[in-house]
Amino acid sequence: MTGFVVRRLLIDLDAPFERHWCGRDAFRTALFNALSMSFPVGEQFFIDSVRRGLESLDPQRRQAFEPDAGGFIGQEATHRRVHALFNAQLERQGLVNDWAPRAAARLKLLEGADPRHWLAITAANEHFTAILAEWLLRNDDVFVGTEPRLRTMWLWHSAEESEHRSTAFELYRALGGDHAWRIRWFRRVTTIFVGDTVRQTVANLRRDGTLWRWRTWRGAAGFLFGRRGLVRQTFAPWRAYFRRDFHPDQLRSDLSSQWLRENAAAWSVAGGPATASSAISATR
């Protein structure tokens, strides 16, 4: 394991952005806003899962996992900070985050549970973020007409999600996590994630005043089920998780490294594998 670079994104999120920032499309904007609302709570849980998993390993294996775990924690901590700034703008626009408190209450029930449960939940969520990330990197024209800084934010997050897609999965396996529980949690996470995404997207559209517009749902149908639609193109990779011999790296493409290479001016290096242990302790 070689670890991941932790990047600092060089964009300004203090300036407000337009309400329908995603290509002036109400549905796409509401959906991405919903996802962003879930990130700070969710990503803190992923960080805690990986840290707990790491602490449960014997010292020798812990050392081997430390670079990747440190990179994972550093990247997710940066995502949390950036999306908190983005979410603060959404709040100023009058949107209300109902997802975060619901998720926080649910995660409270897991206190004291075996770290493998936490990691199975994290690995399942990481599969969702990785397939969504890969889809965004492949279909970046969804951001046509979007402010460059926001487009950069989403594609940078996507590139890093794709990059660290295997960390939680491998820790789960290193701790003896089995196939049956991996699948059980994946089913539950699918139901919860899809349910929460729909609820928050609809709530965002309602508060935005665009829920009952024909144009909103015509846009949604094309975006989700069109030829290059999100649901249509992510169904097969979603299903791949059920395979007994599944590993997240099987779905890896070079889109992530390509984006990072071509957009090197958008970020600076905040830390690398060498700073893994400081990332592990800094986000406590």
Nearer to Fe ion, 76 or 208 (CB): 76
Nearer to Fe ion, 75 or 210 (CB): 75
Ramachandran class of 123: left when φ > 0, alpha when ψ lies in -120 to 50, beta otherwise: alpha
Site residues for Fe ion, 205-264, by CB under 5 A, read none
Q: Kindly state the smallest distance separating residue 94's Cβ from Fe ion, in Å.
A: 26
Secondary structure (3-state) at 160: helix
> Amino acid letter at 267?
W
Inter-helix orientation angle 115-138/255-262, to 10°:
70
Nearer to Fe ion, 29 or 125 (CB): 125
Q: Kindly state the smallest distance separating residue 283's Cβ from Fe ion, in Å.
A: 13
- Scored b (16 or more CB within 10 A) or e, 140-179 reads bebbeebeebbbbbbbbbbbbbbbbbbbbbbbbbbbebee
Task: Point out the residue whose Cβ comes nearest to Fe ion.
Answer: 79
Instruction: Give dist(CA 257, CA 63) in Å, integer.
Output: 26
The binding track of 160-189 with respect to Fe ion, each residue x by CB under 5 A or -, is -x----------------------------
Q: Kindly state the smallest distance separating residue 156's Cβ from Fe ion, in Å.
A: 10
Nearer to Fe ion, 68 or 76 (CB): 76
Nearer to Fe ion, 52 or 79 (CB): 79
Do 25 and 85 contact (CB within 8 A), yes or no?
Answer: no
Stretch that binds Fe ion, among 20-28, 159-167, 236-244, 246-254 (CB under 5 A): 159-167
Question: What is the chain's alpha carbon radius of gyration, rounded to the nearest angstrom?
Answer: 18
Q: Which residues contact 208 (CB under 8 A, 6 or more apart)?
A: 19, 26, 29, 30, 95
Among 79, 83, 127, 151, binds Fe ion (CB under 5 A): 79
- Count CB-CB contacts under 10 A for residue 265: 8
Q: Is 151 in the site for Fe ion (CB under 5 A)?
A: no
Q: Kindly state the smallest distance separating residue 200's Cβ from Fe ion, in Å.
A: 17
Tell me the number of residues near Fe ion by CB under 5 A: 3
Site residues for Fe ion, 59-78, by CB under 5 A, read 76
Binding site residues, Fe ion, CB under 5 A: 76, 79, 161
